[in-house]
Amino acid sequence: MNLAHTPFSYFGSYLSLSYQESENDSEKGLFLRSLHGKSKPHMNSLKLIPIKNGIPVDYSYTADYNLITLTFEGGEVSICFDGESKLLVKGTGEKIGFRLDTQPLYNFEYNYLLGKDDKKFCIVNSYKNLTKYLIFCSKGSVTLKQNIHIDETGSMNKADNISIIDVSSIKDEFLCVIQDIPTHVLKPDWKEYDFDQSLKKSRENFQSFCDNQLVVPAAYQAALKPAAYITWSSIVRPEGYLKRYTMYASNHHFPGAWSWDHCFNAVALAGVDNDLAWDQMAVLFDHQDELGQIPGSVSDSTIRWNFMKPPVQGLFFSKMMKKMDFSPDQLEQAYQYVSKQVNFYLSYKDSNEDGICEYHHGNDSGQDNSTVFKLPIVVDSPDLTAFLIKAMDMLSEVAGKMDMSSEQTKWQEMADNLTKAFRAYFIEGNLPVAKITANGEIIDSYSILPLISIILGDRLPKETKENIIKLLSSERYLTQWGIATEAIDSPLYEDDAYWRGAIWGPTTLLVVDALEDSGEQELAMEIADRYCRLTSMSGFAENFNAITGEPLRDRSFAWTASTFLYLGAKLVK
């Protein structure tokens, strides 16, 4: 496993290890990184360095899903997880040791050597990313070396300070424990640790998760375990703002759950681990406010309200109900979640009160820099209205399951009326278009965003539906790798510009399901197959060059992997 592409972590853990390449020696090597949301601006906590005779040595590494091995002349260091909060570091070899470079950033940032003479331990007070760690040895010893300049004025100035923890061996062996501290301080438990047993348990836990995955075609079987690992290792335990086990967007750069990412992860887990799938949907709704809105993202230590993502939740609850049974309590809860959310949009996201809800910012659409948003204006986009219609359909369906006939009829009538408004306002030349909210002027764009309204299926006029399908299946959007997010002949298309051309997992999943629902089974499965072939070749990056299939941006993204698992299972069916 390439640790520069796929971080090494464990189900429930806020600890992650990555190998970083850099021209700067201090930024190159193996790093322990914090997955606490508050650490996003500076995720590196410790640089991990094997030493011999007290001197750093060059090393090579190998890694699988549960074990990292650092090999160097005369020695070896192995790393595995011991549950959610601890890493075990085991070293063997003559006069070897291990160095933890804390790389303090601020002038007052330093660490502590504590304990009795025969049982010393260290507390790392990593203020640069607002985390703390407990470092101690089950076998061996720890020492702390610091050269710290403290600004006497009490400033927050940065400083070129040094604070290094060295682990020394006893009889050419050591076993060091690195423990995540959730609050202020902990003491070591000083128990006997068994590296091999911890590794065995870690392997068993991951394998159990893999064994529950749905079957994918034989051609893509080799990609199933890497995809499962990204989703499994991106899940953190309940802590702080998180009331449930929660799948993060990425262990690289996005420590949190975003308010449409969570839906794609949930639907891939449905039928695999139904409780975990439900929790992925509910985790954002745990913070639904009195108006009905949910935050743009949430982590253990951050909640962001600046932007929203599109209201896809109703649609995805409908998808999940096809893959798993909802309990009566879950039906009631889903109904409350989505009805409050829809009413929020109708009340607060229609500022000119024309019956059409609007996106205030590109980030609110999920397709942040789509060419629909090339000007800083408020936008009426057909996909938003389509998502609300699908949410109303879901509410009508769930009301029927709960024997709420009047509510069932109410939501169905609301969906029908909004469909009429959609047809009257958005369809121009038998295609859906985005418009400027202020004046209704058509926005000149070749983005896929308006075409996502294909999710309405037979609610669209027949000719409009056929035109969208024809356009999506044309060489303008459908490349050998999948669906581009901007027509590749567009003057604004770019190979690597986020939502201005790249292939993404979420848009692929939406289009595949919509085509399938529209009776275009062969085309839907062809696009699903191209996506699975793409990710099998290029991994589970944030997005991909639509023409070459090259992986782009973050190389280990949860919803990319979830989309593969979901579409791969469809191909088998």
Q: Which amino acid is present at 499?
A: W
What the block records as the tokens of 86 is 């601890």
Q: What does each C-alpha distance from 568 to 213, 219, 227, 529 come to in angstroms? A: 11, 10, 11, 8
Contact 540, 552 (CB under 8 A): no
pLDDT in tens, 463-495: 999 999 999 999 999 999 999 999 999 999 999
pLDDT of the residue at 107: 84
Triad 126, 128, 134: Cα angle to 5°:
10
List CB contacts of 429: < 8 A, sequence separation 6 or more: none
In whole angstroms, give the CA distance from residue 308 to residue 368.
Answer: 11
Ranges of H-type helices in 349-427:
382-401, 405-426
Q: Which amino acid is present at 458?
A: D
pLDDT of the residue at 370: 98
pLDDT of the residue at 155: 73
Contact 160, 101 (CB under 8 A): no
If phi over 0 gives left and psi between -120 and 50 gives alpha, with beta otherwise, what is residue 12?
left
169-173 average pLDDT score: 95
What the block records as the tokens of 256 is 């949190």
Q: Please tell me the total number of residues recorded for the chain in this structure.
A: 573
Contact 167, 99 (CB under 8 A): yes
What the block records as the tokens of 457 is 């299926």
What the block records as the tokens of 224 is 């199933």
Q: Is 252 helix (H, G, I), strand (E, B) or coil?
A: coil
Confidence grade of residue 157 (pLDDT, cut at 50, 70, 90): confident
Share of the chain above pLDDT 90, in %: 95
Instruction: Fill in the DSSP letter of residue 359.
Output: B
Contact 569, 214 (CB under 8 A): yes
In whole angstroms, give the CA distance from residue 256 to residue 558.
Answer: 11
In whole angstroms, give the CA distance from residue 18 to residue 27.
Answer: 11
pLDDT of the residue at 169: 96
Ranges of H-type helices in 139-220:
195-211
Instruction: Fill in the DSSP letter of residue 239.
Output: B
Listed residue (522, 519, 526) closest to 460, CA to CA: 519
Burial of 171 (0-12, 13-18, 19+ CB in 10 A): exposed
328-341 average pLDDT score: 98
In whole angstroms, give the CA distance from residue 55 to residue 171.
Answer: 18
pLDDT beyond 90 at 344: yes
Burial of 424 (0-12, 13-18, 19+ CB in 10 A): exposed
Q: Where are the domains of the chain?
A: 15-188, 217-572
In whole angstroms, give the CA distance from residue 79 to residue 333.
Answer: 42
pLDDT in tens, 423-460: 999 999 999 999 999 999 999 999 999 999 999 999 99
pLDDT beyond 90 at 51: yes
Instruction: Fill in the DSSP letter of residue 369.
Output: T
List CB contacts of 538: < 8 A, sequence separation 6 or more: 544, 549, 550, 551
Query: Hunting for tokens 């991106």 — which residue is that?
Result: 234
Q: What does each C-alpha distance from 256 to 39, 295, 300, 394, 506 come to in angstroms? A: 11, 12, 8, 27, 17
Report whether CATH 3.40.720 matches the domain 15-188. Answer: no
Give the strand pairing for 119-126 and 131-139.
Answer: antiparallel
pLDDT of the residue at 161: 87
Confidence grade of residue 25 (pLDDT, cut at 50, 70, 90): confident
353-379 average pLDDT score: 97
Handedness of CA 480, 485, 489, 494 (dihedral sign): negative
List CB contacts of 211: < 8 A, sequence separation 6 or more: none
Confidence grade of residue 148 (pLDDT, cut at 50, 70, 90): confident
What the block records as the tokens of 73 is 């002349």
Range 217-572: architecture per CATH: Alpha/alpha barrel (1.50)
Which helix (H) or strand (E) segment is 319 a member of? helix 313-321
pLDDT of the residue at 434: 98
Contact 14, 4 (CB under 8 A): no
pTM, rounded to two decimals: 0.97
pLDDT beyond 80 at 151: no
pLDDT beyond 90 at 394: yes
pLDDT in tens, 285-326: 999 999 999 999 999 999 999 999 999 999 999 999 999 999
The separation between CA 525 and the C-alpha centre of its own chain, rounded to angstroms, equals: 25
Q: Phi/psi at 300 (nearest 5 deg)?
A: -65, -25
Q: What does each C-alpha distance from 440 to 354, 381, 430, 497, 540 come to in angstroms? A: 11, 11, 17, 28, 39
Confidence grade of residue 26 (pLDDT, cut at 50, 70, 90): confident
Which helix (H) or strand (E) segment is 403 a member of? none
In whole angstroms, give the CA distance from residue 165 to residue 524.
Answer: 55
Contact 502, 496 (CB under 8 A): yes
2-31 average pLDDT score: 96
Q: How many CB atoms sit inside 10 A of residue 360's CB?
A: 15
In whole angstroms, give the CA distance from residue 427 to residue 442.
Answer: 10
Q: Is 269 helix (H, G, I), strand (E, B) or coil?
A: helix
List CB contacts of 295: < 8 A, sequence separation 6 or more: 259, 284, 287, 303, 304, 305
pLDDT of the residue at 152: 76
pLDDT in tens, 249-288: 999 999 999 999 999 999 999 999 999 999 999 999 999 9
pLDDT of the residue at 153: 72
pLDDT beyond 90 at 53: yes
pLDDT in tens, 28-50: 999 999 999 999 999 999 999 99
* Whole-number average pLDDT of the chain: 96
In whole angstroms, give the CA distance from residue 433 to residue 447.
Answer: 10
pLDDT in tens, 495-518: 999 999 999 999 999 999 999 999
